[in-house]
Structure 1
């Protein structure tokens, strides 16, 4: 239905601009107009449009260059170009730039109506196709690497090289970066991908339980058991054992693990003979292992055994270009589990997400999108659906009843939130309805760290 469709008209001739706006509004479309390329960019940064109708010749820019800018801001935007000359060359140039179609001056209203109907039918099919692709993707293993940034591409190239060697690997990265996911990717790309992948939390307590999990136990060594327990290192066969946060291993188990790596054998609890193992070991840590060694918290020999093939996992702030793809993936995942029809996020939402700090990395993003899908009432996530802390609205007020201090605190939080969404100070000042000099004065007065 047209009432849900929004159209931006970018045309410097007032008569054409006004007549197009009146015609489209009469059809039920939500219409906004401008005669400036610069203002068109600002308007698209502030809200999402379904269609932009742009003149090729504008007083402050070229319509085809504007087309490319607008589609960078909103990947789902469709553009119709208005041209005074209907030539093959003009049409080819417009299509190459990314236009859906073009209109010839004087614009015929029925021609415009027909092109918009065709466009929206295509848009609906495009959205359905994208949804179906997501549905098909869910039948694949969930542990898949999402993103196309250069940082991630370099990491995947490293994984491919490391995987084929079947060597033990150490994954180093902040919490929430997806170290287990990358460990599974190494296993899947390795020579024994058909074998088991078993994960162990090295923080498991009590220590006796962790030791039994890893190395197994002979019958009678454990209360109530008369049969042997093989343990994960044996049970994995020629597969992979993932040791999550290896720095949490107690000293005694570190020594046993070193022997397992060096000699490919383990001693089960209560056993008198060693047992041969074949498993590949992938360990992970959020700590600086060399510092742990210096502080006598981690065995030096084990460190050198693990540190030989070290793969750093980048934090989310180091691969911000992957956020749009991750958002789409998590929306598909959570909308399916909740039975909701959320198809995407607005471009303003993506800007907010790309300006957040992400101390919890991909795991935090996953949780944020889960909450947003839950709160979303429409088919696209808006900034209002995100966790308040991402918008800078959750910091506690100062411990005072003084209204002036509380207002100053909120003012600071509000300016920080707008600056995160709009790093360009002129644009941020406009959003705040302040002069640029006033904004800089506020930044200095409130001690905002840029």
Structure 2
């Protein structure tokens, strides 16, 4: 079923406002009304509208100025202006400000219906065109790192610098942050980009299966595989082997990997002749390898071999500015895979997604949007299309022009995030570059719950 087309009517004359609402409701539109600029902004902050129909003269402001404010709140809202005096100057000013069309009082319903139909036809063509442009722009890129936040730019700068070398790399970060994608980009930007890239999960069990996958095996050494098997370290040649969750390698396997790195040779299971290893190793872990070494679960020598070039991949909650770009990319990917015509998400949905905690990081966002594309019955994903357990997560971002209010909101979120990561107040104060007493004062001023 197609979602209702939503319209906001902003008109101070009650008779006109009521008659327009009744007519458009009968035409099948989802209609909301407001009589002032302030009321219109309040309604527009609570939900998104496809179209706003605004009178030029309102009791507390100007309809053209309101047009600009509405489009700041949601650039996807198209605006039509109502005026009692149709002049060339009025029309030019309205169009310059971004109005789609204008109506002259008294409003003729048939004229309004025709203009709305034309507007929605234009919107559908525009959204489809934008989606096709994005798709064509991405088809040649394959895997790519999405985002332009400072956090992700710093990571990209680091991997570009290390990629041109043949140094082994350790990627650290929470589950779901996309460490394999970053590993692939290091390979792609490296001097052996034309060689193979293979990924292996070090949590694979049993150990014989894992070692045969990495180092190879002679015939009959692995149950269920009577033939000889080449390992990834041989198959990849001078390419790259990505070892995900390297901390979960058994100690004996760690020793074999260390030898492959230090002496550039490996011995297949059951073999007597080693072969030369030329592969670049990129390892990844969600654990603190230094603590694993201290607890005797990880080989110290291997740790120092891998830890020479370490790059931290930030969790999604530290790069929330990237959420709109990620949402656009993932919706395009899933829409293409499912044959759906979903072109984006409403600004209300984007605000909700930017307020979530994302404990599962990009993987969780990807799963949520895959489901949303599947369930969506309109060109844009709305909050109700998202998984039920996602709605209500986090603290909504403020939709306000008041800079002080926005800064206080961000300050509260930032301090709460640091305190979650570092419960020790003294250490948290150091990270925030605050005195301990200043931190306690901030906690009290901002009403931060420490539970």
TM-score past 0.5 threshold: yes
Counterpart CA distance in 2 for 1:61 and 1:296 is 70
Q: Does residue 369 of structure 2 align to residue 420 of structure 1? A: no
Counterpart CA distance in 2 for 1:299 and 1:367 is 36
List alignment gaps of at least 5 residues for structure 1: 393-416, 426-446
- Does structure 2 conserve the Cα–Cα contact (< 8 Å) formed by 1:21 and 1:32? yes
Could you say which residue in structure 1 is the equivalent of 2:367?
Answer: 367
SS in 1 for 2:217: coil
Q: Does residue 187 of structure 2 align to residue 187 of structure 1? A: yes
Counterpart CA distance in 1 for 2:69 and 2:154 is 28
Counterpart CA distance in 2 for 1:224 and 1:43 is 65
Counterpart CA distance in 2 for 1:85 and 1:161 is 61
Counterpart CA distance in 2 for 1:79 and 1:189 is 46
C-alpha distance 368-142 of structure 1, shift in aligned 2 (>3 A) = farther
Mean alpha-carbon deviation: is it higher for 157-166 or for 57-66?
A: 57-66
Q: Does residue 295 of structure 2 align to residue 295 of structure 1? A: yes
Counterpart CA distance in 2 for 1:266 and 1:37 is 73
Could you say which residue in structure 2 is the equivalent of 1:389?
Answer: 389
Could you say which residue in structure 2 is the equivalent of 1:156?
Answer: 156
Could you say which residue in structure 1 is the equivalent of 2:419?
Answer: none
Deviations along 1:209-267, whole A, 9 cap, x unmatched?
Answer: 21121111345655787865321011111211100011011112222222222232222
Deviations along 1:9-58, whole A, 9 cap, x unmatched?
Answer: 33446677567657766766544332322322221233321112345665
1:68: Cα distance to partner?
4.2
- Does structure 2 conserve the Cα–Cα contact (< 8 Å) formed by 1:236 and 1:279? yes
- Does structure 1 conserve the Cα–Cα contact (< 8 Å) formed by 2:51 and 2:80? yes
Could you say which residue in structure 2 is the equivalent of 1:324?
Answer: 324
Counterpart CA distance in 1 for 2:333 and 2:95 is 34
- Does structure 1 conserve the Cα–Cα contact (< 8 Å) formed by 2:251 and 2:298? yes
- Does structure 2 conserve the Cα–Cα contact (< 8 Å) formed by 1:3 and 1:30? no
User: Mapping of 1:427-442 within 5 angstroms?
Assistant: none
Could you say which residue in structure 2 is the equivalent of 1:397?
Answer: none
- Does structure 2 conserve the Cα–Cα contact (< 8 Å) formed by 1:254 and 1:299? yes
Counterpart CA distance in 2 for 1:57 and 1:302 is 73
Could you say which residue in structure 2 is the equivalent of 1:35?
Answer: 35
Mean alpha-carbon deviation: is it higher for 314-323 or for 192-201?
A: 314-323
1:112: Cα distance to partner?
6.0
- Does structure 2 conserve the Cα–Cα contact (< 8 Å) formed by 1:100 and 1:119? no
List alignment gaps of at least 5 residues for structure 2: 401-447
C-alpha distance 384-9 of structure 1, shift in aligned 2 (>3 A) = closer
Could you say which residue in structure 1 is the equivalent of 2:348?
Answer: 348
SS in 2 for 1:282: strand
1:113: Cα distance to partner?
6.1
C-alpha distance 370-299 of structure 1, shift in aligned 2 (>3 A) = same
C-alpha distance 56-386 of structure 1, shift in aligned 2 (>3 A) = same
Could you say which residue in structure 2 is the equivalent of 1:212?
Answer: 212
1:331: Cα distance to partner?
3.0
Counterpart CA distance in 1 for 2:3 and 2:359 is 40
Q: Does residue 260 of structure 2 align to residue 260 of structure 1? A: yes
Mean alpha-carbon deviation: is it higher for 229-238 or for 117-126?
A: 117-126
Q: In the comparison of the two structures, how many residue pairs are matched? A: 402
SS in 1 for 2:230: coil
Counterpart CA distance in 2 for 1:197 and 1:21 is 60
- Does structure 1 conserve the Cα–Cα contact (< 8 Å) formed by 2:3 and 2:377? no
Counterpart CA distance in 2 for 1:367 and 1:75 is 26
1:169: Cα distance to partner?
1.3
Counterpart CA distance in 1 for 2:290 and 2:93 is 58
Counterpart CA distance in 2 for 1:92 and 1:239 is 61
C-alpha distance 335-17 of structure 1, shift in aligned 2 (>3 A) = same
Counterpart CA distance in 2 for 1:294 and 1:257 is 19
TM-score (norm 2): 0.75
1:198: Cα distance to partner?
0.3
- Does structure 1 conserve the Cα–Cα contact (< 8 Å) formed by 2:78 and 2:100? no
C-alpha distance 191-107 of structure 1, shift in aligned 2 (>3 A) = farther
Counterpart CA distance in 1 for 2:339 and 2:221 is 49
SS in 1 for 2:278: coil
C-alpha distance 318-91 of structure 1, shift in aligned 2 (>3 A) = farther
Deviations along 1:97-121, whole A, 9 cap, x unmatched?
Answer: 5x14454876775876665454333
